[in-house]
Structure 1
Amino acid sequence: MDPGNNTAVARFILLGLTGDPIFRIILFILILCIYLVTVTGNLSTIALIRISSQLHHPMYIFLSHLAFADIGYSSSVTPNMLVNFLVETNTISYVGCAIQLGSVVFFGSSECFLLAAMAYDRFVAICNPLLYSTKMSTQVYVQLLAVAYVGGFLNVLSFTISFLHLRFCGPNQVNHFFCDFAPLVELSCSDVSVPAVVPSFTAGSIIAVTVCVIAVSYIYILITILRMRSTEGRQKAFSTCTSHLTAVTLFYGTITFIYVMPKSSYSTDQNKVVSVFYMVIIPMLNPLIYSLRNNEIKGALRRELARRIHS
């Protein structure tokens, strides 16, 4: 679509995190290191799960896709953010802005579905262990993965169509470090009643549904664990959930701040800081959370390292 047909603005200026030149250099070095750790850690997780036959289970297959989503999520905004620290004015084309927005929405939505699928997997493993191979068969987890990516794609359609219906005639400065939808709506000179509501409804529905799946799964998991007579059994069952619970708390805690809390309760700068946390830092933390608290992953890593050394 030619942006000239519906808008006078062909490019947007991303204002970024700060205008202080010294602070920009510090942030560039810090975020570059975080991004390198993010890519390395998540690629290592994907590679380890792929090459270790002991990890060829639905739980770890979901984890490998979560690692893929984290790479895509972080890569959607971080490289452009790094450029913003080094140039005086960071511009992005109309089409580039649409692509960045769509990429963020796709990987963010997919991550919500994947976290819900992982909660359901833990529910089946703990509450119905004898039926696990049936209820979490190859066909089932492939269908859950398909739902995650199709759901992400449908949410992208909602945001992209709404973005294309916005008309931009004047100011083109986006007060953010990426093409977030809310600041773009504020710049629009057209009627935003429908384009602003539709994406909010689809994104809110995804968050609500996945949170419900996670909450119900863990309610049943908690009831099952409390009914266990063995203390060792309780600890073992709970230990399989702590990593996922930590990741869920971090991810949904931050997106709740951004998308659920009233806008009047926080400033634009606070919004940017929280966005950095859930779009840049959390993708780096996820592989650390799962590797440090999961004995099977640590065991697989030790075996793979030993095999490499001896070979």
Structure 2
Amino acid sequence: MAASDGHGFEINDENCQKRVEEFVRLTQTDEALAQFFLQDRDWDLQRSVNDYLDSMDGQTAHKRTIDEVTLNDSDDSDCNVVFESPTKTKAIEDNSQSSSCEPSVDIDVKDLKDFRFICWNIDGIDEKNLRLRTEAVAKHIKEANALIVFLQEVIHTSEAILRQSLPDYEFLSGNNQIVKYYTLTLVHKKYVKLIDNQVIGFANSIMGRNLLKTRVSIGDVSLCLLNTHLESTKDFADSRVQQLRTAFQEMSQMDSASTVIFGGDLNLRDTEVQKLGGFPAGVYDVWIKTGARK
């Protein structure tokens, strides 16, 4: 005997799959994310879609709130949706996407004692134990009280989990809708003032890679954050070198009053850095500078 949600919806495999498919169609995401939201909300499609849109507030090109969702039983009927607000599209120019940002809370650095930064490829592509692993990532970030976090290989499902677990952080996404996984930069709302954010596409990438550029300040310190996932594997070494060149060019264009933090999953070999003549003047490997600890 099938269970019911108390509102006339019979919870069985067929009906649940229909709602998964409708969630995917409405949000342009994937079934894994649909399962995550629907299961936690007793298969309430309207609440699930609205909660997803709320969680992505400010990060998607089309931010809409759904007032009403009705799903008919017949196989040839579509889901009827009523949108509350008009579509807002971010400007896209010269293979890059940028937006200005305002902090949602007052910035206070009086009690800030140190600077904590995390860079992590969280392997969202591997869906084995994804929720457990992503919750562990969020726990580590929270316990470290990191000011800035660079993440790579994030997928929609892992981003949703992180957003629910880390409400004290602003999320900046490098999602370009080309590939399933992407980069995320997180900045702590209490200490970091967000100035603007830009996604710079790599014209030579066949893997949908880009450079996520975020300008922030911490007190009177100006920072430029460059988070990336360069082209993978030995076969794409030439593309990777060109992508590194683009990152170096972005660094050189920053004014001397700003400090640049460049990181991510670079996939670099030492010989590839040497092809560009090594690091530009004034650029240092933090790992080497701090003692090259194993």
Common fold, TM-score beyond 0.5? no
The one of the two structures with greater contact order (alpha-carbon pairs below 8 A, sep at least 6) is 1
The structure with the largest helix share of the pair is 1
TM-score normalised by the chain length of structure 2: 0.27
Name the structure where strand makes up a greater proportion of residues: 2
TM-score by length of 1: 0.26
